[in-house]
Amino acid sequence: MNQSNKKRSYIHPEGWKFAAIFLAGSIVLLFLSTAIALVLIGFFLTFFVIWFFRDPERNTPQDQNLIVSSADGKVCLIDEAYPPEELPIDSKKMKRICVFMNIFNVHVNRSPVQGKAEHIVYKKGQFLNASLDKASDKNERSSLVLNTENGAKIVVVQIAGLIARRILSFISPNHMLTQGERFGLIRFGSRVDIYMPLDAVTKCKVGEKVLAGESILATLK
């Protein structure tokens, strides 16, 4: 399924089926239940689901030397680490910038660079609080390896969280991603780790709020 940057509905398609389920349940309650509070809760949840799956357009800077955020949220960690062990790439330390998404953030993930999807590897795991450092190793995750036109290798890891229990990928290996293109989604709060060359120059700081496809996290040398 190609989730390109063309004009689309403000709501991601994944959201409509959940909204339909909650709406159907609310209508059933409306006719069968005398508990008005339950009916109101049902309609509230319907609108919340629609809002949660919002997918706004973003103005992405097109520059092969820029690494933009893959997720909306807050930068929770900047360090050096090895990429996930299940990836068939050289095991060497890379710079890592982690973005934590709470339940109120947009959860559509975007490519940090323009490049070719070399590998996409899913690994089952736990569902610890995604803001914890150990979540990178312990939690369920899906890793995407990107090769850029200038030869840099970028790894983007979608990590499930305490509430998030479903990671979706919209692309397949060999797909050519444009910078800021939608490539996946994580439902209900989670984290994205972005690995880059050690000499990349950091342009963000821990605690900073960022937007997927817009905020610049680092620049490549």
The DSSP output letter for 100 is: E
Looking up tokens 């900047």 gives: 78
| CA 27 and chain centroid, separation | 32
**Catalytic residue selected from 69, 131, 190, 215:** 190
Residue partners of 192: CB distance under 8 A and separation at least 6: 70, 71, 73, 98, 99, 101, 109, 156, 157, 158, 159, 186
- Is 9 one of the annotated active-site residues of the chain? no
Q: How many CA atoms lie within 13 A of 209 on its CB side?
A: 4
| CA 126 and chain centroid, separation | 18
Q: Which of 194, 207, 192, 203 is nearest to 80 (CA)?
A: 194
Number of Cβ atoms within 10 Å of the Cβ of 28: 12
Active-site residues, by number, are 190
